[in-house]
Copies of this chain bind each other. A is one copy, B any other.
């Protein structure tokens, strides 16, 4: 094996449809990276369960929906290996070994998990599964020996935790079986929600999903946060922090027209509705080919399912190899 080969692990929990924020934050990057690196994409159904314990049907059904989103944006299963987490039991096995290498205190200090526990209002009732999900993720990453993990800034502690485990394991068992992962932060890392809040998120209800209809896009853009001081058309408006212009900068292609609109808006005399109508045009132009590909794949769900099973079988073989090496390093081989 060429030790300099880039091996990427990335993915999503199967909790709902992917949205424009996912596209900007990660999917676009994956489409680009699949040509130059070995890319594994995990659909994390078991991690989705950590805070959806009473709703496994949703978790199950969204596995296929997420896969359709992947195919729709141009992730190519001939280049990227898409797999379902629960079909790789070696991840659970590896997690069990890793849990011995991490203190409960360390898990409770993880800033990402702390924030999420507060956001979700878990408080004192947080489940063991939720608290230790960074260890589970360390197993996701290391089971395929990924050396590169694209993340948002808020996920950096997960990579830190992973590498602590990798170093502890290799030191204790005197081996170099496990590989440290490098976090790569996406260049345009975050798309604001339509309400202007920092992050687009399905659970915050401020997302435009990749599978949204043209009508849904109209409704959501019309609700979009602009400049609250820009009351009359004639008033000068601010483009900084104005979500409509942020989106135009990201999804628009006619930079000249956008520059003119910005100038006009700042000067006064350009109404929000006109800018929003243009953004609707831009977003639908961006989403149309995605919708078309999604509709095509959605007609043959059995084929998409088979893609996932094939990707999972390929990952299983890699995972089994890693697990064998892990158990050899731990002197836990009986056969």
Task: Verify if A289 is at the interface (C-beta below 8 Å from B).
Answer: no
Do A84 and B53 have beta carbons less than 8 Å apart?
no
Chain A at the B interface: mostly helix, strand, loop or mixed? helix
| Residues in B neighbouring A309, C-beta threshold 8 A | 334-335
Task: Verify if A203 is at the interface (C-beta below 8 Å from B).
Answer: no
Task: Verify if A8 is at the interface (C-beta below 8 Å from B).
Answer: no
- 8 Å CB contact of A105 from B63, B107, B124, B331: B124
Task: Verify if A102 is at the interface (C-beta below 8 Å from B).
Answer: yes
Number of chain copies forming the complex: 2
Number of interface residues of A (CB under 8 A): 53
CB pairs A–B below 8 angstroms (19 shown): A45-B332, A49-B97, A57-B331, A59-B332, A60-B330, A86-B93, A86-B332, A92-B96, A95-B96, A99-B127, A99-B129, A102-B128, A103-B126, A104-B104, A105-B125, A128-B131, A128-B135, A305-B334, A312-B334
CB distance from A326 to the nearest CB of B (A): 11
Task: Verify if A87 is at the interface (C-beta below 8 Å from B).
Answer: yes
Do A103 and B128 have beta carbons less than 8 Å apart?
yes
CA of A133 to CA of B99 in the docked complex: distance in angstroms?
10
CB distance from A74 to the nearest CB of B (A): 24
Task: Verify if A324 is at the interface (C-beta below 8 Å from B).
Answer: no
| Residues in B neighbouring A131, C-beta threshold 8 A | 104, 128
User: 1/0 per residue A74-90: CB within 8 Å of B?
Assistant: 00000000001011011
- 8 Å CB contact of A129 from B86, B89, B96: B96
CB distance from A314 to the nearest CB of B (A): 15
Do A100 and B130 have beta carbons less than 8 Å apart?
yes
Task: Verify if A68 is at the interface (C-beta below 8 Å from B).
Answer: no
Task: Verify if A1 is at the interface (C-beta below 8 Å from B).
Answer: no
Q: Which residues of A contact B (CB under 8 A)?
A: 45-46, 49-50, 53-54, 56-57, 59-60, 63, 84, 86-87, 89-90, 92-93, 95-97, 99-105, 107, 124-132, 135-136, 172-173, 305, 308-309, 312, 327, 330-335
Do B96 and A56 have beta carbons less than 8 Å apart?
no
- 8 Å CB contact of A128 from B104, B305, B330: B104
- 8 Å CB contact of A173 from B45, B56, B105: B56
CA of A232 to CA of B310 in the docked complex: distance in angstroms?
81
Given that A63-B334, A90-B89, A96-B136 are contacting pairs, would A53 and B101 also be in contact in the complex, using a CB cutoff of 8 Å?
Answer: yes
